[in-house]
Structure 1
């Protein structure tokens, strides 16, 4: 789970700047372009001067970036702690001060609805973010520097580490997604043997089939009620083919245990072990290595 304290500090500091006296420039409502920042779709996106602007505070990377507010100049100061770059932004300005030098932006810094919006290009060119455009899918995918490193691990890195990242990604549901109707506090993740980029998630009697696309976005492709739960027979989407040999990880939230094992081609489960997460060296562990399992779905982009 991400630590939210640095994020809240950044949000507070940016909100202080919003209420300071400044010129507010009109901007168009959210565009039809789908913008994803660190895997999460942004509902607050502006179109200004033909450019797409996104909320600055959504570009959250506490390990690399810090935000402070200068009351005298009424500016947001952004510090990249890795490369010692200092950036200052002022509301309504179409330029930024980067290490004391003026750099022109392709759209004005805009305050709207308690948010500070900056051009997408600013994130990639000045904050070290990754921005990719998909004209066919009408979407933009933005990642912070730290998230870009996680993305590389997710797509082609160590199997266990990649799976940890996979289950932590924000899940993108389609329209009218099914909601769980059962009870319980356990979450079961099932991956095909040697794979990371697709899995089943089972919670409160509802099963989600999730695929992670080439942009690192986790999309639900199918949902259905667990036939063994006697809750219902709802189904949505196209059910995937059988996974074949698989591995599972059961996150028992109430008992603070992780149970893990294998599933053969016939669907028979074999528990390999359990992890007491109350012990210091096991805290937060849900995904663990499975002996002799090797990754087979690594991809490079």
Structure 2
């Protein structure tokens, strides 16, 4: 069994009388694909984004048994007024629930919320279980503010209370330090790292110890930042026993690595050496299969890189599907 926890969807259509805050899906003559038009975004969306039958066919070809479906990240428009953001989120959540209902057991849908208004976002989470949604997707920053900021604590506390897992997708923040062409590569990697680090340094990880969070693309550069943070906390190399009198920033709480090992990370890092590092540093029980499909093509067959690592049967089973059920809070079928 293999579960892809990082796969995206787009609604087929939007209401004809929708406000200007809504995207459009324009038809393409002679093609089953449609063009997503949303602000500056112009994206050709193949029918697999919104057609359940096509998705299941693609999953079967790749050896994928189930997908966790989240809205395409450009739909996370926190620059909209909160009321319009809520209307957009509700439309997309309704579509997600409908799509997932067409193939029960194959799709686990995640909704979205207007996180530009943390209180309203927290209130909206109470409807997710009724809709059949399993979790919520958020971006790594809200208009340049990292998600670890204390203003987002009510949202995370409510997600923890409801047992809803959170999927953090790296999204570029406004920056002029790199060219626009680097936004989808280097900037996204930095954003994932900042988001994960901010949940620890901002205190949310401490205040919400049962919160289930996963990060796209393994949190970008976050795993490579951790050994340095651990050294400052412990004063020792290689995660040896802490020596507080040598530590630079020691406290009596969990270490940075202990906090980081509460999170989940998808395997979408493109190199077996990087995946091996994640397993060695964070543990095989923290890793999930991810692909970014259909925005990006899966490796064929899915999970090939993870299978090449020489993990034990139990470790491989955890990464391929068991960890996903733990993260989702769903009883394993096997």
TM-score (norm 1): 0.30
Please identify the structure whose Cα radius of gyration is greater: 1
Q: Which has the higher strand share?
A: 1
Larger relative contact order, structure 1 or 2 (CA cutoff 8 Å, min sep 6): 2
Q: Which has the higher helix share?
A: 2
